Amino acid sequence: MRLLKLEKGFAPLILVFFGALLIIGLLFLAVIGRSILVTSPTALQDYAHGYRPFKITGHSMDPNFKDGQDWLSAPYISTQPQRGDAVIFINPQNQAQKFDKRIIGLPGDKVMVKGGLVYINDQRLEEPYLAPNTVTQAGNLPAEGQAVTIPSNNYYLLGDNRPFSSDSRNLGFIPRQSILYKLVYCYLNCH
């Protein structure tokens, strides 16, 4: 068997070529792979199953979801949205916007805001995720003391930081097809 003999002039070119490939690979890991390595060891598998990153912008979900945090979100594949889930949905008034809010009312529920509190089916809603002394002001939907029934396949969503949230009180009921993901895990800037 005869080995291919390289001329001395080719050796430096081969080293440069493989060195460049190594640098490109390291840059790929540094730029693209950073978010994969930060989230979890199975991030690629998670992404293939529909998990998506979501950056919190604004203060409508303070104190639980803070501006600048990066969250992993999961699609509703074999389950339906539940009361208390923090979700990402498409703004019905501007399809280019995605908001994060909490599900308060489910299809068929009767919702009422009265005296700064939320009532579901005539029962005061316990909301342990709210900051102490949070007051919920009524909006267009429903008006103060007025009970409304959520239509089928729709949900009632509110921000945790009620005074600074654009939510179902002024956006209206949110259709199920507009609810994209549930926020499940903060992986970056989780202070």
Catalytic residues: 60, 101
Under DSSP, the state recorded for 172 is -
User: Strand runs (DSSP E) across the chain, as ranges?
Assistant: 52-55, 70-75, 86-90, 98-105, 110-114, 117-120, 123-124, 147-149, 154-158, 174-175, 179-188
| Per-position b or e across 53-64, b if 16+ CB within 10 A of its CB | ebebebbbbbeb
- Complete edge-to-edge strand list for the sheet that includes strand 174-175: 52-55, 70-75, 179-188, 86-90, 98-105, 154-158, 174-175
**CA–CA distance, 77 with 74 (Å, rounded to integer):** 9
Query: Which amino acid is located at 181 in the chain?
Result: Y
Q: By three-state DSSP, how is residue 29 classified? A: helix
Residue among 78, 116, 105, 73 at smallest CA distance from 174:
105
